[in-house]
Amino acid sequence: EPFINSLVAEGQRTPEEHVIEQEAFLRLSSLIETELTALEREVLHLNLTGMPTAQIAKTLGREEKSADNALQRAKGKLKKRLS
């Protein structure tokens, strides 16, 4: 059995899927760096690590509403650019 087939059989991505995934990751990373403010980037990063909004606000010395607004703006900007 060819190596590529054994990888796919084990649930691994094909080389084409891997390239597509890498391109999507690079595009998203670029958008995060170019489209989001420093606060939006930090709030998004902390949110993606699983930190709740209240803890994000405390960590950044912000009001919870400020952290939540930054998160919503970040998500909105990324959604708009990716659609």
Listed by start position, the domains of the chain span 1-35, 37-83
Q: What is the pLDDT of residue 66?
A: 98
Residue 61's region, left for phi above 0, alpha for psi from -120 to 50, else beta, is: left
Q: Tens of pLDDT along 11-46?
A: 677 788 878 888 988 999 999 999 999 999 999 999
DSSP state of 18: H
CATH number of 37-83: 1.10.10
2 band by pLDDT with thresholds 50, 70 and 90: low
pTM (predicted TM-score): 0.77
Nearest to 46 by CA among 19, 74, 24: 74
5 band by pLDDT with thresholds 50, 70 and 90: low
Structure tokens at 71: 């998160």
3-state SS of 27-41?
Answer: HHHHHHHHHCCHHHH
Q: What is the pLDDT of residue 13?
A: 74
Q: Which residue has the higher pLDDT, 9 or 74?
A: 74
